């Protein structure tokens, strides 16, 4: 664990997250009956212990003064379940930009750009965009499950009107290309197929049946409305 990086730990992952600056890395020896006092060690270092200890635990020492707690309303990106570590112990958060964790720790705004959006936020923004260009748009299936190849399936117009099917990603060109391939399979079901991705991730070859929409364009469009600008402000922790 690098001491100059923030660590994140959950004691209730649905309501509160603790962010802290580690003061030292330590090991905690234990006998069969009790934990012993922590022993500070250098990161990636070693130490010699008595043979009487039956277990050794790794730990991080930090003080309450260097720690803060945040809630979903204070730091929405940290509560995106797509980004949570596979455990709730203290750890560096590899799936989210360190800049976002730092902003939450310092209670500062996240950069107000499309690339700051988390995967879940990208989906929400893309769906709001679809709802803006198709006022009658409504989602008609849940994400995942049998529809795991696409992120959104909805309809426009009257009951049983034309289908709208979309895929969203904040990933690189390879990821966007794979999603375009999956989305193309639905071309016989809808004339309204959309792929949302960063402009720099546009696939080299986008099938004619798919309309590519850059996330930056979506962000700019949503920023132009008071209602959706408020949504972006809340997502990116703006004052």
Domains parsed from the chain with CATH numbers: 7-106 (no CATH), 115-235 (3.40.1350.10)
Query: Do residues 101 and 92 make contact, with C-beta atoms less than 8 angstroms apart?
Result: no
- Give residue 145's pLDDT: 45
The residue with greater pLDDT, 59 or 92, is: 59
Query: Do residues 25 and 47 make contact, with C-beta atoms less than 8 angstroms apart?
Result: no
| Average pLDDT score over residue span 45-74 | 77
For the packed helices 226-235 and 215-223, what is the interaxial angle rounded to 10 degrees? 120
How would residue 177 be classed by pLDDT, with cut points 50, 70 and 90?
very high
Mean pLDDT (the chain) is: 82
Closest by alpha carbon to 196, among 182, 181, 178, 176? 176
In tens, the pLDDT along 204-228 reads 989 999 999 999 999 999 999 999 9
- Give residue 85's pLDDT: 65
Residue appearing with tokens 């360190």: 98
């Amino acid at each position: 664990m690098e001491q100059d990086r923030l660590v994140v730990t959950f004691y209730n992952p649905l309501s509160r997250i603790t962010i802290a600056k580690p003061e030292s890395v330590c090991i905690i020896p234990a006998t069969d009956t009790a934990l012993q006092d922590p022993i500070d060690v250098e990161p990636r270092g070693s130490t010699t212990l008595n043979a009487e200890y039956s277990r050794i635990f790794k730990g991080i020492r930090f003080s309450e003064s260097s720690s803060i707690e945040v809630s979903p309303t204070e730091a929405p990106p940290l509560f995106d379940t797509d980004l949570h570590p596979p455990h709730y112990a203290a750890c560096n958060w590899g799936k989210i930009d360190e800049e976002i964790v730092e902003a939450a720790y310092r209670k500062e705004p996240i950069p107000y750009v499309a690339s700051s959006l988390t995967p879940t936020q990208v989906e929400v923004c893309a769906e709001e965009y679809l709802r803006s260009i198709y006022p009658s748009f409504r989602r008609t299936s849940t994400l995942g499950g049998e529809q795991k190849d696409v992120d959104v399936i909805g309809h426009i117009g009257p009951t049983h009107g034309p289908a709208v099917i979309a895929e969203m990603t904040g990933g690189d060109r390879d990821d966007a290309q794979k999603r375009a391939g999956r989305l193309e399979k639905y071309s016989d079901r809808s004339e309204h197929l959309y792929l949302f991705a960063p402009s720099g991730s546009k696939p080299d070859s986008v099938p004619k049946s798919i309309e590519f929409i850059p996330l930056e364009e979506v962000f700019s469009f949503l920023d132009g409305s008071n209602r959706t600008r408020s949504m972006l402000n809340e997502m990116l922790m703006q004052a």
